[in-house]
Amino acid sequence: MSNLEPIDPGQLQRWFRTDVQSMTAYQPGEQPPWGKTIKLNTNENPYPPTTKIREAIVEATGRLERYPDPLGTPFRMQASQLLGVEPDQILCGNGSDDILTIVTRSLLDRGQLLRFPYPSYILYRTLAQLQGAVTEEVPFADGFRLPEGLCAPHPQLRLVVIPNPNSPSGTWIEPEALLDLARRLPCPLLIDEAYVDFAPGHCIDLIAQQPNIMVSRTLSKSYGLAGLRFGYLVARPEVIQMMRKVKDSYNCDALSLAAATTAISDQGWVEENRRKIVATRQRMLERARAIGFIVPDSHANFIWCTHPTWNLKEMYQKLKDQRVLVRYMDYPEWGAGLRISVGTDAQSDACMDLLESMR
């Protein structure tokens, strides 16, 4: 290890923003060494991307000494056709985490309010803290329906985020309910559609009806490209225009832009992939319920398994000891659960077999 003298903590305190010092870093799911583990903890896709995508990447290696297109125009052209929006309604990001960063940096100032449902994606809290903003996490109504409190009047309310489908529950809110929420809000509503390709609908079409609606997407889940870091935002052109000022100039690299453009052009593969994952999900869900878990209907590529009395943390640990990695999450005042990603049939069966043996 290093021979450096430690820095005096008081020194660090004077250097760093108070918000940064006091915040807890967002903890991403464990990333074990490749190949040794059945990895069902971060909602990755078990199926590798196609040869076409690999070819697009290889082709793009031929011009790496040049900066990439700052706006990702070929991707935006292709996506605009698929989504039925204009290219100037699309902002490319280095993963949808980058999109969430751009949105929060654009809209949230010190002391202002970000609201989102609970339990949900904890990263929203981290991003608000980085802005010095405050958060209100409104518990879901029964059956993971939208709680009324999301649109309660508040002078500092500047952004509401709804992941749809939601994580960790995998549940789905009908677009009509989100349109109604957006109409009642004085601020933008971001619908985080990371898992939307596994759901029965989407909210892109609402943007034309309601200017405060924004939709974020990622290629990490249904496209099987988590390693690539590519996401995008769809919103009104004026909103996108303003957010371009906030992003890093070259936030997407040439390889991911090439791969993303090819990936989004190959909807046959996405459809086939979705079909397989939805079928395995149904099988897992029935199996988990038969084992005795309480599992809400899932519209994502994972299921959320809870139980009133079982020691779920112990079950998580026993799975891990057998090299099956799932996500144990404990939400204060709500409860704990195992969030299990949909793998291949064989991976999912192996996980369920182990859980059954622990009953």
Q: Which of residues 171-230 bind a copy of itself (CB under 8 A)?
A: 186-188, 208, 211-212, 220, 224-229
Task: Indicate the SS3 state at residue 259.
Answer: helix
Instruction: Considering only the stretches 31-39, 280-288, 307-315, 348-356, report the one whose residues sit in contact with a copy of itself under the rule CB under 8 A.
Output: 31-39
Q: Which of 178, 213, 255, 285 binds a copy of itself (CB under 8 A)?
A: 255
Token reading at 191: 């619908």
Judged by CB under 8 A, the chain residues 276 through 295 that form the site for a copy of itself are none
CB 343 within 8 A of CB 280: yes
Please, are residues 162 and 181 in contact by the beta-carbon 8 Å criterion? yes
Least distance from a copy of itself to the Cβ atom of residue 291, Å: 27
CA 277 and chain centroid, separation: 17
Q: Which of residues 58-117 bind a copy of itself (CB under 8 A)?
A: 58, 60-70, 85-86, 88-89, 94-95, 97-98, 101, 105-110
Choose between 151 and 291: whose C-beta lies nearer to a copy of itself.
Answer: 151
- The answer to whether 149 contacts a copy of itself (rule: CB under 8 A) is no
CB of 286 to a copy of itself, least distance (A): 25
When the beta carbons of 53 and 162 are compared against a copy of itself, the nearer one is 53
- For residue 20, state whether it binds a copy of itself (rule: CB under 8 A): yes
Evaluate whether 153 touches 107 at the Cβ level (below 8 Å).
no
Per-residue CA distances from 181 to 98, 287, 314, 317 (Å): 25, 35, 39, 40
The helix/strand/coil state of 195 is coil
In the numeric block, which tokens belong to residue 1?
């290890």
Cβ neighbours around 3 below 10 Å, total: 4
Q: Which of 122, 130, 134, 278 binds a copy of itself (CB under 8 A)?
A: 130
Instruction: Determine if 168 is a binding residue for a copy of itself (CB under 8 A).
Output: no
Radius of gyration of the chain (CA): 21
Tokens of 3: 């021979």
Q: Does 36 bind a copy of itself (CB under 8 A)?
A: no
Tokens, residue 97? 């985490």
3-state secondary structure of 76: helix
Instruction: Name the residue with tokens 């043996």.
Output: 357
275 interacts with a copy of itself by CB under 8 A: no
Contact range with a copy of itself by CB under 8 A, out of 161-169, 235-243, 312-320, 330-338 = 235-243
Would you say 45 or 306 has its CB closer to a copy of itself? 45
The one among 113, 254, 277, 338 contacting a copy of itself by CB under 8 A: 254
Q: Looking at 115, 158, 327, 339, which residue binds a copy of itself (CB under 8 A)? A: 158
The distance of closest approach from Cβ of residue 235 to a copy of itself in the complex, given in angstroms and rounded to an integer, is 10
Assess contact for 103 and 123: CB atoms under 8 A: no
Site for a copy of itself contains 309 (CB under 8 A)? no
- C-beta closer to a copy of itself: residue 221 or 287: 221
Angle at 46 between CA 329 and CA 161, to 5 degrees: 45
Sole residue written with tokens 């807890």:
24
